[in-house]
Every structure is written in structure tokens, then in C-alpha cells.
Amino acid sequence: MPRTGLTAEQVKERAIALAAEKMNVLGFDRVRLVDVARDLGVAHSVLYKHFPDKSALLDAVSAKWTQACAETGAKIAASPRSPSKLIVDWFVAIYRLKRERVLRDPELFKAYDLAAQKRKPFVVAYMTALHAQLGKLVRRAIAEKEFSAGSAEKYTAFLLEITRGFNYPAMVLQFPGKEREETLKQTLKLGLKALSR
């Protein structure tokens, strides 16, 4: 038990929260493990048990956010409502989360964008989870005849491609101040119409 009175897991979670705070104040490239440890009141060696280096700590901050995004998507995908309507809700929800992150926590989003460019394992896992959620909705739409018969994989890839400009990290960063939600909805409306023929 660390001298803070926190359990090992609590130390880890508090370190992630502190790192997130420092990233927004200092910029993600200026966060140091030793500073986080000092603010937490533990020796930096305690943090090395959880994070072998600064990069691992920054990844943990981003991974926590991606987990929350994936959970939001999973709840939408599990709804019994019309799958084609859920597809719109799903894309809009993910877009809102990314846009909120850019506006509220720009340094944290930059760290995530960098991790995405490097295709770090937690990003790959996150993208795989989202792909599976969307694929589930597409298969339901085909089964319930909201989409024409066809390949669920191709339909899923098509929907991801036409929405790339709204969900790709670099694009969200490029247009953080523009409310593009209505354009996203219109894009999806046209895409879903094409799949329903």
C-alpha cells in the first residue's frame, strides 16, 4: 500500500487523471512521470510499476477515453430500435464525443491522434470494437430488410468510408469549431438510401 493510503489500482487511476490534467495545462509533450508522481505523493518508482515510461502513461489517458467511446457505441448498438436509425445515432454519438474532446481537451485529443497515427494496440482494439458494433447494426438492417441483400462487410466499409471526414482524428482536429453534425446526418441519409435500394 503506497503512503497515500491508496490501493495500487487507485494510484494507477489517480495517475491517469493527474496526467490528463497536466496534458491540458502543459501540453501532452511536456508531461513527465516524475511530476505526476510528485503531485500524487509517491516515488516515481511506484508509477513505473504501472507505466514503464511516459508514453505508456499518455496511452493510458487516451485508452480510458476510447473505452468510454466504445461503451457509448455498444449501448446504441444493443438497442432494439430500427437498425438504420441506430446507425445514424451511432455515428452522431461518436462524432459528438470526438468533437467534444477536441474542444474541451485539445491536448488530450492530440495525444490520441498521435497514437492513432502509430496504430498503437489500444487504438486498434478500439477501432475493432467500433467496427464490430457497426457491423452488427448493418447485419440487422439486412436481416430486417431495411437494407437490400448484400455483403454486410462491404456495407460497413462503405458507411465508414463516407463518414471518414467526420470521424477521422485529423479531420476532427482540422475543423474543431465547425458544427458539422447536420452535414454528417445528410451524408448518412444519402448513404442509407443507397443501401436500401
At 8, is the pLDDT very low, low, confident or very high (cuts 50, 70, 90)? confident
pLDDT of residue 156: 97
Instruction: Find the Cα–Cα–Cα–Cα dihedral 129, 135, 141, 145, rounded to 10°.
Output: -160
At 169, is the pLDDT very low, low, confident or very high (cuts 50, 70, 90)? confident
pLDDT of residue 14: 92
pLDDT of residue 25: 87
Q: What global pTM score does this model have?
A: 0.86
CA-wise closest residue to 182 among 95, 106, 76: 95
pLDDT digits (tens, 9 = 90+) for 74-110: 999 999 999 999 999 999 999 999 888 888 888 888 8
Burial 33-55 (b: 16+ CB within 10 A, else e): beebbeebebeeebbeebbeebe
Pick the CATH number of 8-48 from 3.40.1350, 1.20.144, 3.40.720, 1.10.10: 1.10.10
pLDDT of residue 168: 77
CA-wise closest residue to 29 among 129, 124, 90, 108: 108
Answer with the residue of higher pLDDT: 130 or 170.
Answer: 130
Site of grid cell 509517491: 42
123's grid cell: 487504438
Tell me the fold of 62-196: Tetracycline Repressor; domain 2 (1.10.357)
pLDDT of residue 1: 40
All structural domains of the chain with their residue ranges: 8-48, 62-196
